[in-house]
Structure 1
């Protein structure tokens, strides 16, 4: 499994004693490394874990009502954080507000027993009691694409899970299959309509390019052979209508022609895929005379 660049060396052979950090640090950035260590140790480097999505571990904690955004758009360099909320249920003997207790959400790609990749929050979640044994918790999933956390093959569907750790006893609780989201390669779309101005009835050439983030070289590259709609909005209107649909070239470029009929705005619009979000270019105004 891959667990962010700074903890990639953590393997299933790592003992849970690696979680023993000072209690005062339970809520600082050490949480992410500790959570990664716990997950790797629990699931094993061999990928032969028998875990399903049920709660595993010695800590009397379980999780439910996991809520995350439907999709998370990730570019090439900027840090992306998406908020997760979930319900935590614990035994009366578990003090979730103790300095040596921490919990947080995570998302994983692939099978829970041996995921292809996993992403945590940088800090532990914060929890608010709703009863003596339940709490509502809120935390982030933090993604740093420039740090090599993602491969292009990671785009698509991910599942959600949550962890709870006790830094003093090394006890933990780990549960997957709590929710799902799409982690998508951010997209960009451009348009240019010319000539401007143009005589009514003459030909307008509309060019553009659809590109998306490449997480392996931190650049944007053309998205090839994708259907894109050419749309027009007449001056004074607030509604775009589809003129035609064309496919991007092998390099993501777009080019088509239309007849000039009235002043208005041309744009390209892409509906999106499971790996790449929908995007529309800003309209380019053409003055028809």
Structure 2
């Protein structure tokens, strides 16, 4: 089992990370707190480039007994993969202790930051997709409370897409060839590699218009390249656009202008 801690929530968290949540039989050997209303990245997908460090804001609510001193424990959010928080395959732990404001003697409103860093092995390609959200509270004696199933977060590999229409200028009715390439972040090689076998739409926007219309759908090659032909009808812009997948976000190429004479 791998524990991918981006940093420590508290001084004691390094040891806890090595022990792993599975070592906490019930996941509740620490402070008697519960987590709720956890929102990761404002509910938006987390997109990480080939060699990038992405700071992700997290807000959450902690409920505690009135007698439990706020200063006696620290909390932070985490992301994990696996059937349960007590037996995760991977864990990404908060980059810093949560900063909490007391709404009452029992309710704390907190915020923290998760850092996903593709430059130092925090992520491997197969980890793109859905992660579960959890919370961790640690007291001064290194006792921990792990809570899972607090929501979900999508982590995706950044994609890039290009388009080039030629020749230019071109006679009306002549053939235009539109090439391009769809690539996405390879977190292990720290570069961008072709995304194979993906449906990509070729779109056209007539000069003076603000809307693109789909001309046809083209499938990327074994190296992520795209190539197709169309007839020249009017001045305008050609682009490729990709709708995305569970592991890769949607992306559109910049429009390439064609001068039809």
Tell me, yes or no, whether TM beats 0.5: yes
Contact kept, 8 Å, 1:3 with 1:149, in 2: the verdict is no
Aligned pairs (5 A) from 1:173-252: 173-252=145-224
2-side partners of 1:276 and 1:58: how far apart?
38
Match of 1:21 in 2: none
1:156 aligns with 2:129: yes
1-side partners of 2:63 and 2:16: how far apart?
20
Contact kept, 8 Å, 2:8 with 2:93, in 1: the verdict is no
Alpha-carbon deviation of 1:151?
A: 1.2
2-side partners of 1:121 and 1:34: how far apart?
13
Alpha-carbon deviation of 1:209?
A: 0.3
Match of 1:2 in 2: 2
TM-score normalized with structure 1 length: 0.84
Contact kept, 8 Å, 1:39 with 1:174, in 2: the verdict is no
Match of 1:56 in 2: 28
From 219, 222, 244, the counterpart of 1:272: 244
Contact kept, 8 Å, 2:78 with 2:93, in 1: the verdict is yes
Match of 1:91 in 2: 65
2-side partners of 1:201 and 1:32: how far apart?
68
Aligned length: 258
C-alpha change, 1:116 and 1:102, in structure 2 (3 Å) is: same
Contact kept, 8 Å, 1:32 with 1:121, in 2: the verdict is no
C-alpha change, 1:76 and 1:87, in structure 2 (3 Å) is: same
Match of 2:138 in 1: 165
Q: Once the two structures are superposed, what CA deviation does each residue of 1:162-187 show, in whole Å capped at 9, x if it has no partner?
A: 111112x2232210100101111111
Alpha-carbon deviation of 1:201?
A: 0.8
Match of 1:108 in 2: 80
Match of 1:258 in 2: 230
Alpha-carbon deviation of 1:238?
A: 0.9
Alpha-carbon deviation of 1:40?
A: 4.5
2-side partners of 1:36 and 1:84: how far apart?
21
Match of 1:82 in 2: 56
From 16, 27, 30, the counterpart of 1:38: 16
Q: Secondary structure at the match of 2:9?
A: helix
Which stretches of structure 1, 4 residues or longer, exceed 4 Å deviation after superposition? none
Contact kept, 8 Å, 2:31 with 2:73, in 1: the verdict is no
Q: Secondary structure at the match of 1:246?
A: strand
Q: Once the two structures are superposed, what CA deviation does each residue of 1:244-282 show, in whole Å capped at 9, x if it has no partner?
A: 001000110000001111111111000000011110111
TM-score normalized with structure 2 length: 0.92
Unaligned ranges ≥5, structure 2? none
2-side partners of 1:254 and 1:32: how far apart?
49
C-alpha change, 1:160 and 1:204, in structure 2 (3 Å) is: same
Alpha-carbon deviation of 1:5?
A: 7.3
Contact kept, 8 Å, 1:71 with 1:181, in 2: the verdict is yes
Q: Secondary structure at the match of 2:19?
A: helix
